[in-house]
C-alpha cells in the first residue's frame, strides 16, 4: 500500500478528546475576525472553506455548507452548485500555490465510511505529489504542523484575495 499517506500527527485527532458539538458549525459561527485563527479560508453564500486541522497532506482543505446537514440528498440545488464551484476554485488555487500533480476529492458519509464529522457534510480536497507518501513519512513531526497550517492559510488567502472571490 505505497499510495497511502502516513500522517502520524492525525493520531492526536484519532485518540484525543473530541470537542463537544460540531466543529464545522463552531468555526463558521465565530466572528470573521477569528477566521485566520480558525483557518477558515473563505465564506461564500451557502458554503465555506477551511483548512483541515489534521491534514493528510499540505494544503488539505474542506468545503462545507453553513447548514448542519449530514446527508447529500438534504442539500438544495443552490448549495450543491456552490459546493462544487468552490471545489473547482480550491483546486485551481492549490494548483497555483503548490503545483500538485494530482488531487483526491472526497465526501465520507457516516462514521463507517470514515467521516470525522459525520453529521455535517463536507468535501475533502487533498493535493497530491509524486512521492508524497515517502516525503511525508520522513518529515512528519507534530510540532511542524501548526506552522505549516499558518503558512498554507496565508498563501491560499493571498490567492483568494487576489482573485476577488465572492
Ligand atoms: Zn455542523
Q: What is the pLDDT of residue 98?
A: 92
Phi and psi at 117, nearest 5°, equal -115, 90
Q: What is the pLDDT of residue 30?
A: 97
Q: Quick check: is 125 in a domain?
A: yes
* Residue of 28, 42, 60, 122 marked active site: 122
Per residue in 75-112, pLDDT (tens digit) is: 999 999 999 999 999 999 999 999 999 999 999 988 88
How many domains does the chain contain in total? 1
Q: Residue 82 sits in which domain range? A: 20-163
Q: Quick check: is 130 in a domain?
A: yes
Q: What is the pLDDT of residue 137?
A: 47
Helix or strand holding residue 89 (H, E): helix 77-98
- For residues 16 and 100, the model is more confident at 100
Per residue, the 3-state secondary structure of 39-62, as one string, reads CEEEECCCEEEEECCCCCCCCCEE
Q: What is the pLDDT of residue 6?
A: 63
Q: What's the CA-to-centroid distance between 22 and ligand 1, angstroms?
A: 5
Q: Quick check: is 78 in a domain?
A: yes
Q: Quick check: is 14 in a domain?
A: no
Is residue 3 very low, low, confident or very high in pLDDT (cuts 50, 70, 90)? Answer: low
pLDDT average, residue stretch 129-154: 66
Q: Quick check: is 10 in a domain?
A: no
> How far is it, in rounded angstroms, from Cα 158 to Cα 16?
32
Q: What is the pLDDT of residue 54?
A: 84
Q: What's the CA-to-centroid distance between 122 and ligand 1, angstroms?
A: 10
CATH (domain of 128): 3.30.428.10
Q: What's the CA-to-centroid distance between 24 and ligand 1, angstroms?
A: 5
Asked if 157 contacts 41 with a C-beta cutoff of 8 angstroms, the reply is: yes
Q: Quick check: is 147 in a domain?
A: yes
pLDDT at 144 over 80: no
Is 122 considered catalytic here? Answer: yes
pLDDT at 140 over 90: no
Q: Quick check: is 55 in a domain?
A: yes
Per residue in 24-74, pLDDT (tens digit) is: 999 999 999 999 999 999 999 999 999 998 888 889 999 999 999 999 999
Q: Quick check: is 13 in a domain?
A: no
Amino acid at each position: 500500500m505505497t499510495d497511502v499517506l502516513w500522517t502520524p500527527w492525525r493520531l492526536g485527532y484519532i485518540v484525543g478528546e473530541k470537542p463537544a458539538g460540531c466543529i464545522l458549525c463552531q468555526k463558521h459561527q465565530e466572528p470573521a475576525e477569528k477566521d485566520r485563527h480558525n483557518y477558515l479560508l473563505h465564506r461564500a453564500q451557502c458554503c465555506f472553506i477551511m483548512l483541515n486541522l489534521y491534514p493528510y497532506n499540505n494544503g488539505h482543505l474542506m468545503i462545507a455548507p453553513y447548514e448542519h446537514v449530514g446527508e447529500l440528498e438534504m442539500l438544495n440545488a443552490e448549495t450543491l452548485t456552490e459546493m462544487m464551484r468552490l471545489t473547482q476554485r480550491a483546486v485551481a488555487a492549490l494548483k497555483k500555490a503548490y503545483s500538485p500533480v494530482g488531487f483526491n476529492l472526497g465526501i465520507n458519509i457516516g462514521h463507517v465510511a470514515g467521516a470525522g464529522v459525520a453529521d455535517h457534510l463536507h468535501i475533502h480536497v487533498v493535493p497530491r505529489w509524486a512521492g508524497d507518501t515517502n516525503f511525508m513519512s520522513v518529515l512528519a513531526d507534530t510540532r511542524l504542523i501548526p506552522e505549516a497550517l499558518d503558512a498554507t492559510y496565508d498563501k491560499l488567502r493571498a490567492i483568494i484575495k487576489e482573485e476577488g472571490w465572492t
